[in-house]
């Protein structure tokens, strides 16, 4: 249950809480969706992480990954689109 009607979104890919299966809140109004968690786990497990990227690069990467992350989240929920 969310404390209010704000449309919370993933701080990494921008997917809203309505777009994803799970949106985890962190400190200071930071959120991460289940798709980004899967991607982060993959990068940690494989060691395939960007060395030191700027915030702008991360946001650009996140915006390019959003369609894929939404697709993964929908498939994980068993939805077809």
End-to-end CA distance of the chain: 26
Average pLDDT over all residues of the chain? 76
Tell me the residue range of the domain where 44 lies: 23-77
Q: Is the pLDDT of residue 71 over 70?
A: yes
* Model pTM score: 0.57
- Residue at 15 is within a domain: no
CB-based burial, 25-58: b 16+ in 10 Å, e otherwise = eeeeeebbbbbbbebeeeeeeeeeeeeeeeeeee
Task: Give the confidence band of 52 by pLDDT, cuts at 50, 70, 90.
Answer: very low
As for how many domains the chain has, the answer is 1
Residue 18, domain member (yes or no): no
Residue 9 tokens read as 């979104």
The verdict on residue 37 lying in a domain is: yes
Supply 15's token pair.
């997917």
pLDDT in tens, 12-51: 888 888 888 899 999 988 999 988 888 888 778 877 665 5
């Amino acid at each position: 249950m969310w404390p209010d009607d704000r449309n919370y979104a993933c701080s990494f890919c921008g997917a809203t809480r309505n777009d994803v299966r799970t949106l985890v809140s962190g400190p200071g109004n930071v959120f991460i969706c289940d798709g980004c968690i899967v991607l982060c786990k993959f990068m940690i497990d494989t060691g395939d992480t960007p060395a030191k990227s700027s915030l702008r690069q991360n946001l650009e990467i996140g915006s390019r990954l959003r369609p894929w992350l939404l697709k993964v989240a929908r498939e994980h929920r068993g939805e077809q689109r």
